[in-house]
Amino acid sequence: MTSEQREKLLKAGFTPGQVEEISKGQEAGVNVSVYANKEFLPIQMHQIRLGLMEHLPVEVYAKMEYDWFQMEEIRKGLKAGVDTSVYALPKIPYEKMRQIRKGLEEGINLSGYLKLKAGIIREIREAKRDGVNIIKYINEGYDAEQLAEIRGALKKGINMDSYLCKEYRAATIAEICKGLENGVDVSVYASINYSWRQMREIRLGLECQLAVDKYSSQLYSWEQMKEIRLGLEQGLDVEDYRRLRFTAGEMRKKRKAILEGVYREQEILLESQGKAEDFRIEVSSDGMEAYIRVLVDNKDYRKERLLKILEQSGICKGIQEEAVEKIISGKYGKESILIAKGQEPEKGEDGWYEFFFRTDLEKKPKVLENGSVDYQNIEWFEMVKEGQKLAFYHEAKEGTDGYDVAGNPIKARKGTEQRVLTGKGFKLEEDKKTYVAIISGMINLDENEMWVTNHLVLDEINMATGNITFDGSIHIIGDVGHGTVVNATNDVMIDGTVEAATINSGGSIVLKKGMNSAGHGLINAEKDVVSRFFEATKVMAKGNIEVDKCLNSQLYAGGTITSTRIIAGGVAQAEKGFRVNNVGNHAGIHTVLKMKVDEKIWEERRMLFSAIKDVKHELQMLNNSYEEFKVKFPPEIRNNMDIFKKLEQAVFTKNKQLEQLEKLKEENEQRISKTRESKIIIAGCAHEGTVLEINESRWLAENQHNITVKQQNEEMEILSN
């Protein structure tokens, strides 16, 4: 568009924003007459222009009765190829349009719920996608935020009906769900008399096995509850400060004083029986040590008299007999002598779990004395039986009190209680200490989470036995044949050889002998992959990959890749670095080690930058229109205009959207930046033909030995080990 054409449009009454949209349409070669109407706001023109550029039938929504958000939802529906007539009605707010559109894209027709609020329609869509039914709760009158928490609980298989109440806020329901999920007795706090923050403090106390009755009174504020809870977690005697009359701030000061061991500060000068000239006695600021210095030399002091003087000076405990003997025997000097010492309190023994299964399985191959690696005897599974006692909790013990030199007791801290064990496949007995398996299967322990999952043992898998899909872990004792598929929601261990098969695992995969798939096999694990060898195999792990020998394969790891012997041929890519021995071979086989973020993350980055750019542009158009309305109309008129109210709301909505996108972008960039801290460590030889790539940098090896490769200021740095 020429400057003359732009000026002509401005004189005709078009705003600069409208002119900009018309200009962009002309540059794109679309029919701008469809939207070159002064009645359209620039943001509406923008949606019509995008539709024209996408070759969509924009006449469906290029109408004044639609606002820009409605236009966007109809445009997106047309682009997705769904039946927009289901929701393309001016009377339907864009929030409802969005949920109907998303539902149609997911194969769910939600048009029958248009009378409900948009948030509730969203929850119905999410529930249908999750395979749960929330209609019962909608009929009972729960709002969208409450339904979101109920839906999440149902998805996890949590039955909370006996604790539900419409008076609960969504955050309150969330606290009850968390408690049920973590196996605590939520009846202790499931009451409308508690706020959700009070519930949280009681829940956290129950999870840490604290005496929550010390602060569960509804009269405490949540801040007071928190201070008492923290004191109990730290093993402190909270009786002195858990009184209701103390504010949370006062409780905090008292708790910290007890924790830091702040005692009376004093200095005592002896003036007993007119004998002040004989001794000088000093007590440390914490009251734990008393020192005496003899001021008058060559005098005889009886033990009874010295002890009386100390007592009159407030020193009556922890008397050091050796120091007393020095003074009464005249063997003192001019320096102060430690005459009394208090006893520091001893914290009680921490609570601990006694486990009745092996918790020390390393789940990795053993390195033998000769340097080779034993993959055949990897111990990965620990099996338990239904009804088996899994763990017993031993409570924390009270500590041993101390005292200062004045005989004042110093309360000891109780040992720290451990958090309750969470997970599935077991139950907690009525004593709240004993954990028992409710199914037979494989057990896993990860800090405070314990799972007992189903376990399937098979002799072998081949075309005759068919494919296997199992909810749990699978242990195949024999071989896995060509063309077979193994799917498990948990770990997979295969003792025999694997041919061109597909192995999918929701946990880790262990191949004791390895896999040769002739280019047609796939290993796909949500966690780690461990194998003796790979040949012509594609391996994808969201965790780490550990292999002894790898030939002509494709490896992709979200964590690290470790090879104890050699990686030769193919491509190995890891986000968090490599620790390998030899790479390539003497024949110069082409071998690539890549250290970069997965392409999906880069694609996500590009999409986020594009989305942020678009939202900023739309926000600018909205702000321009908003300011134009403020110039054209006085407050008493514009504040009553629906279009102005929509603009205000749209500016707020777009700002929130921009804030969320910026947060996602920051998280994405943090993940990408972590790769710059990773290294490629080669303990043996990087043969000629080996290519090392870190992000966009590339380096060709020439038979270098014992090197570390990392990125430094966007360049690759090669260091000798």
Residue 682 carries which side chain, given as an amino acid letter? I
What percent of the chain shows pLDDT beyond 90? Answer: 66
| pLDDT for residue 242 is more than 80 | yes
Residue 375, amino acid: Y
CA distances 269 to 289, 317, 438, Å, are: 14, 18, 69
Q: Is the pLDDT of residue 275 over 50?
A: no
Q: Binning pLDDT at 50, 70 and 90, where does residue 285 land?
A: confident
CA pseudo-torsion sign 86, 90, 92, 97: positive
In the chain, % helix, strand, coil (3-state, to 5) comes to 35, 25, 40
468-470 and 502-505 strand pairing:
unpaired
pLDDT of residue 205: 96
Run of H or E including 230: helix 222-233
Instruction: Decide: 339 and 281 in contact? Cβ < 8 Å.
Output: yes
H or E segment and range at residue 568: strand 561-574
**Which residue in 270, 274, 286 sits closest to 327, CA to CA?**
270
Instruction: Using the predicted structure, report yes or no on whether residue 133 has a pLDDT greater than 50.
Output: yes
pLDDT for the residue 221: 96
Residue type for position 450 = M
Length of the chain counted residue by residue: 721
Predicted pLDDT at 598: 66
Contact 608, 672 (CB under 8 A): no
Identify the DSSP state of 414. Answer: P
8 Å CB contact between 579 and 657: no
For 92, the 3-state DSSP assignment is coil
Burial class (CB in 10 A: 0-12, 13-18, 19+), 95: middle
What pLDDT, in 10s, does the model give residues 219-232?
999 999 999 999 99
Helices (H), ranges, 208-291: 222-233, 248-260
What separation in angstroms does the CA of 600 have from each of 30, 543, 553, 606, 664?
33, 16, 21, 10, 14
Buried b (16+ CB within 10 A) or exposed e, 329-346: eeebeeeebebbbbbebe
Res 646: pLDDT = 86
Quick check: 596 and 693 in contact, CB under 8 A?
A: yes
For a pLDDT cut of 70, what percent of the chain falls above it?
95
The model's pLDDT over 441-486, given as tens digits with 9 standing for 90+, comes to: 889 898 889 999 888 888 899 888 888 999 889 999 999 999 999 9
Q: What integer is the mean pLDDT of 21-31?
A: 94
pLDDT band at 261 (very low <50, low <70, confident <90, very high): low
**Under 8 Å between Cβ of 105 and 80:** yes
- Residue-wise pLDDT tens digits, 381-424: 788 999 999 999 999 999 999 999 999 998 888 999 999 999 98
Extract the runs of DSSP E, i.e. beta strands, from 412-501.
422-424, 426-428, 434-437, 441-446, 449-453, 455-458, 468-470, 473-476, 485-488, 492-494
What pLDDT, on a 0 to 100 scale, did the predictor assign at position 263? 39
pLDDT tens track for 77-128: 999 999 999 999 999 999 999 999 999 999 999 999 999 999 999 999 999 9
The pLDDT value recorded for residue 93 is: 94
Quote the CA–CA distance of 668 and 202 in Å, as a whole number.
35
β-partners of residue 531 are 511, 547
Q: Which of 226, 221, 220, 227 is nearest to 259 (CA)?
A: 227
Question: Which H/E stretch holds residue 175?
Answer: helix 170-181
Residues 486, 506 contacting (CB under 8 angstroms): no
State yes or no: pLDDT of 265 exceeds 70: no
Q: What is the DSSP letter of 180?
A: H
Single-letter amino acid code for the residue at 476: I
Report the 10 Å Cβ neighbour count for 7.
11
Q: How far apart are CA 152 and CA 171, in angstroms?
A: 13
Instruction: Name the pLDDT band for 268 (thresholds 50, 70, 90).
Output: very low
Q: How far apart are the C-alpha atoms of 49 and 385, rounded to whole Å?
A: 65
Instruction: Give residue 191's pLDDT.
Output: 94
pLDDT of residue 636: 83
Six token digits for residue 629: 């309305």
pLDDT over 80 at 710, yes or no? yes
Which tens digits make up the pLDDT trace of 202-214? Answer: 999 999 999 999 9
Residues 6+ apart with CB under 8 A from 612: 658, 661, 662, 665
Q: Residue 147's closest CA among 193, 131, 105, 168? A: 168
How does pLDDT run across 492-534, given as a tens digit for each residue?
999 999 999 999 999 999 999 999 998 899 999 999 999 999 9
- In tens, the pLDDT along 379-391 reads 667 889 999 999 9
Q: Is-contact 229 215, C-beta < 8 A? A: yes
pLDDT reported for residue 415: 93
Question: Do the beta carbons of residue 472 and residue 456 sit within 8 Å?
Answer: yes
pLDDT at 270 over 60: no
pLDDT in the model for residue 378: 65
**What does the alpha-carbon distance between residue 531 and residue 551 come to, in Å, rounded to a whole number?**
13
With bands split at pLDDT 50, 70 and 90, how would you rate the model's confidence at 273? very low
Residue 353: CB partners within 8 Å, gap ≥ 6?
A: 391, 392, 393, 394, 418, 421
What dihedral angle (degrees, nearest 10) is formed by the CA atoms of 8, 14, 18, 19?
Answer: 10
Bridge partners, 573 (sequence order): 556, 594
pLDDT of 175-204, one tens digit each?
999 999 998 999 999 999 999 999 999 999
Bridge partner list, 113: none
- Grouping H, G, I as helix, E, B as strand and the rest as coil, residue 521 is strand
